Amino acid sequence: MSASEFDLIHACFRKEARIFSAMTRVGNGDDASVHDVPEGQQWVVSTDTAVAGVHWPHDFPVAMAADRAVCAALSDLAAMGAKAHWAWVSVMASDESVLQDMGKGVTSALNRYDVELSGGDTVQSPLNAFTVTVSGLLPEGLAMQRNQAKVGDDVWLLGRVGFSSLGLNDWFSGVREGGFIADFQTIEPKLRQGESIRHLGVRCCMDVSDGLFQDAEHLCHASGVAMNIDLELLPEWADMVHAVGEDRATQAMLSGGEDYALLFTAPAHLSGLSSLAVKIGSCVKGNKVSVRLYGASVMPKQQGFDHFGES
């Protein structure tokens, strides 16, 4: 076994993983990892899969795809207001050089956000793919959930939406630098900001991964409210219209996925939010999402990304 699975996993992943949690009792390399949970804390878990040709173009650098996969998973912890601590990364890789690039991207992202690589799995497969499970901690009872919006709440957006989908379009058009390319290449999970808004008292939040309109509908459905969104209030609306025109900007901002902004609601009396996020609308009675542009009703042509969907 000159370059066995076990040596490769060590070289590509474990050797480069530099964060070790003081709460980990059995780390990477046994059948499972074992962790302490401090009193008064709850543990939070999420998992995300990314597949070549679905979540990134086949000619996109695989190390970047790996970095994105980790950050997309971490974004779910941000949306709960959790502090990220641990990750388990399973990869399907077509050959050793792909595996090496995957290792670079995975460990770079984990090290950047101080997250421990606690385990994983490696399989040779014709298709390249990642499943990233992430975990962190939350003070008891303070998780931000998507079912906590109340009629009368303001609706906030932390981060931008629409830019990643324009970057992906640029990529498919052959652009490799400039334009919106950088907005697709990297994801910034809003971990620090998620904790900040939780500290400020926010109790309803989700991350926007499948498009603002569709994800807002999920939040409304879970909470039993309707939502009005004013398109022109979205971060950098005017700039995007200037760059691509009103129709494309509308479509990108309402339906473009993969930006990983945080969508949250909060009662009007909560202070401190405007230094972190932008108020884009309000929660009202009903069960639908209504979008307006300078007061006129707007509907997205395509609602968002939907695996197995017919639209």
State how far the Cα of 170 lies from the Cα of 14, in Å rounded to an integer: 35
* Residue the block writes with tokens 């379009």: 169
Provide, rounded to whole angstroms, the least separation between the CB of residue 295 and its own copies: 28
Q: Could you tell me if 53 and 172 are in contact, meaning their C-beta atoms sit under 8 angstroms apart?
A: no
Q: SS3 of 293, please?
A: strand
* Residue the block writes with tokens 């906030």: 156
Closest CB to its own copies among 176 and 199?
199
Closest CB to its own copies among 156 and 180?
156
Provide, rounded to whole angstroms, the least separation between the CB of residue 259 and its own copies: 15
Closest CB to its own copies among 44 and 253?
44
Indicate the burial class of 289 (C-beta count within 10 angstroms; 0-12, 13-18, 19 or more): buried
Provide, rounded to whole angstroms, the least separation between the CB of residue 19 and its own copies: 16
Provide, rounded to whole angstroms, the least separation between the CB of residue 178 and its own copies: 30
Q: State how far Cα 86 lies from the chain centre.
A: 16
Provide, rounded to whole angstroms, the least separation between the CB of residue 48 and its own copies: 5
Question: How many residues comprise the chain?
Answer: 311
Closest CB to its own copies among 37 and 175?
37
Q: Could you tell me if 117 and 52 are in contact, meaning their C-beta atoms sit under 8 angstroms apart?
A: no
Q: Nearest Cα to 87, choosing from 132, 44, 24, 51?
A: 132
Closest CB to its own copies among 88 and 156?
88
